[in-house]
């Protein structure tokens, strides 16, 4: 049974007081860069986060992130106008910049044949036309973002074309992106990133890999983070497996200027996830997740299910991202109707069992209090 932590009374006041006492946060680079109170970034989570979560986190003094990878420019404009109406604090807009999908009929046919037994079993047909495919960040979206002026734009899977990065930075927006190796971190810094998100293998969701292509050699946060900190001059944000004050203190002890938490925010009431997803998160154990490419065509850490176990976790002939999502849609919907997650991409990290059912604002403040208390305990041991 999941721990339901009582709301910390006066946690907001405590977090503020703790933060006003010097020395508070041991590394203030991201705090100073963005003028935020706490070095806590709520991860953008496409498909699971609407405006409510970034509003709550930014209002708590962290950095709220709004995922835009699945949205058209008009939808981004509408959502940002709502978010800006509810908070004047800094926000992050997040996009994917994957290479446009290359279709390969032979691979797609072979994959459909591989799944044929499941279509027969569930009595559904498969298709390979992506309905809601994430589009890579392009000029039209850049126009919208330059107009909207978010304090931060973060990317997954590298960076867009150099002229787009230049436009964003000239508009005053800070540009961040995820690195899963030291080489990717160096590349991001060389190509204009203002901060690098070091994404360890524990992380839920898609691996941000864009130079690396070997999933088996991806390093965990504890090993990757200090190596990235040593390799780049820009601030480094630790992502992957951080879920409470202990994780934040560990990451900052290794040189992180901030942390980015995804899975830990999924149990917040603000997360837009199904009851099945929520139940699977609550039942998750340390060994419930795996990195797989069979659900989307790119390596992503998810709660394991029948498809991952029977065809993966890493299969060699999988259609390119994001085609497998469309291939699986009918199966997934039918299975979910029957109460099963056999074909669902329930993104989650290895620290899922540390999740707490708190509102996003309370969780952010609690994380800050926990981490600050830990720093104080380390500075003056009993
Ligand atoms: C449900 C879910 C969806 C995610 N979607 C995105 C996304 O749209 N963009 C992105 O940059 N990262 C995404 N990520 C990865 C996070 O940015 C981050 O690397 C990860 O959550 C950190 O690890 P943790 O889940 O252990 O906290 C997602 C993660 C999860 C759990």
pLDDT 10s digits, 168-192:
999 999 999 999 999 999 999 999 9
Choosing from 45, 220, 288 the residue with most ligand 1 atoms within 8 A of its CB, the one to mutate for a pocket test is 45
For residue 285, pLDDT beyond 90: yes
For residue 197, the ligand 1 atom closest to its alpha carbon is 19
Segments in the chain forming alpha helices (H): 11-20, 29-34, 52-59, 73-86, 105-122, 139-148, 162-170, 182-190, 221-231, 245-253, 275-283, 306-311, 323-337, 360-379
pLDDT at 337: 96
Residue of 185, 192, 184 whose CA lies nearest to 160: 192
Tokens of 242: 């951080």
Q: To the nearest whole number, what is the mean pLDDT of the chain? A: 93
**Ligand 1: distance of its center to the CA of 158 in Å?**
15
Report the C-alpha gap between 214 and 55 in whole angstroms: 36
Contact 315, 294 (CB under 8 A): yes
What is the pLDDT averaged over residues 129-150? 87
At 223-236, the pLDDT tens digits run: 999 999 999 999 99
**Ligand 1: distance of its center to the CA of 62 in Å?**
16
Our CA angle for 264, 268, 269, nearest 5°, is: 165
Choosing from 79, 262, 278, 360 the residue with most ligand 1 atoms within 8 A of its CB, the one to mutate for a pocket test is 262
What is the pLDDT averaged over residues 153-165? 97
Match 């986060």 to its residue by tokens.
49
Our CA angle for 209, 207, 118, nearest 5°, is: 120
Segments in 196-313 forming alpha helices (H): 221-231, 245-253, 275-283, 306-311
For residue 23, pLDDT beyond 60: no
Q: Given pLDDT bands bounded at 50, 70 and 90, which one contains residue 61?
A: very high
Element (H, E) at 273: none
For residue 43, the ligand 1 atom closest to its alpha carbon is 17
Report the C-alpha gap between 289 and 56 in whole angstroms: 28
**Ligand 1: distance of its center to the CA of 239 in Å?**
8
This prediction's pTM? 0.94
Q: Given pLDDT bands bounded at 50, 70 and 90, which one contains residue 43?
A: very high
Supply the residue whose CA is at minimum distance from atom 29 of ligand 1: 205
Tokens of 169: 């930075």
For residue 240, the ligand 1 atom closest to its alpha carbon is 23
For residue 27, pLDDT beyond 60: yes
**Bridge-partner residues for 217, per DSSP?**
none
For residue 84, pLDDT beyond 80: yes
Which conformational region is residue 21 in: left (phi greater than 0), alpha (psi within -120 to 50 degrees), or beta?
Answer: beta
Q: Given pLDDT bands bounded at 50, 70 and 90, which one contains residue 125?
A: confident
Question: Which has more confidence, 260 or 376?
Answer: 260
For residue 1, pLDDT beyond 80: no
Report the C-alpha gap between 308 and 294 in whole angstroms: 7
């Amino acid at each position: 049974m999941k721990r339901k932590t009582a709301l910390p009374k006066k946690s907001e006041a405590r977090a503020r007081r703790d933060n006003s006492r010097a020395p508070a946060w041991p590394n203030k680079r991201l705090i100073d860069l963005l003028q935020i109170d706490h070095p806590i970034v709520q991860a953008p989570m496409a498909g699971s986060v609407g405006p409510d979560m970034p509003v709550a986190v930014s209002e708590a003094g962290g950095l709220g992130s709004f995922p835009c990878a699945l949205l058209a420019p008009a939808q981004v404009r509408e959502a940002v106008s709502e978010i800006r109406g509810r908070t004047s604090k800094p926000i992050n807009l997040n996009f994917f910049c994957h290479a446009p999908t290359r279709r390969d009929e032979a691979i797609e046919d072979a994959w459909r044949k591989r799944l044929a037994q499941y279509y027969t079993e569930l009595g559904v047909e498969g298709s390979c036309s992506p309905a809601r495919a994430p589009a890579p960040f392009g000029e039209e979206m850049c126009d919208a973002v330059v107009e909207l002026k978010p304090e931060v734009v973060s990317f997954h899977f590298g960076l867009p074309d150099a002229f787009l990065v230049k436009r964003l930075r000239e508009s005053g927006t800070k540009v961040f992106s995820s690195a899963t190796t030291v080489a990717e971190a160096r590349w991001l810094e060389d190509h204009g990133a203002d901060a690098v998100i070091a994404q360890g293998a524990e992380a839920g969701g898609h691996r941000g890999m864009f130079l690396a292509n070997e999933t088996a050699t991806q390093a965990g946060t504890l090993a990757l983070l200090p190596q990235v900190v040593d390799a780049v001059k820009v601030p480094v944000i630790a992502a992957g497996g951080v879920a409470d004050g202990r994780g934040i203190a560990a990451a900052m002890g290794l040189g992180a200027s901030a942390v980015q938490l995804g899975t830990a925010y999924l149990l917040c009431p603000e997360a837009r996830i199904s009851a099945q997803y929520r139940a699977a998160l609550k039942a998750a154990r340390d060994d419930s997740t795996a990195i797989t490419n069979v659900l989307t065509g790119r390596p992503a850490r998810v709660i394991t299910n029948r498809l991952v176990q029977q065809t993966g976790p890493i299969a060699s002939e999988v259609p390119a991202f994001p085609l497998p999502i469309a291939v699986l849609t009918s199966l997934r919907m039918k299975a979910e109707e029957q109460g099963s997650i056999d074909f669902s991409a329930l993104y989650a990290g290895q620290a899922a069992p540390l999740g707490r059912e708190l509102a996003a604002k309370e969780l952010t403040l609690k994380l800050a209090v926990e981490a600050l208390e830990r720093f104080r305990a380390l500075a003056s041991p009993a």
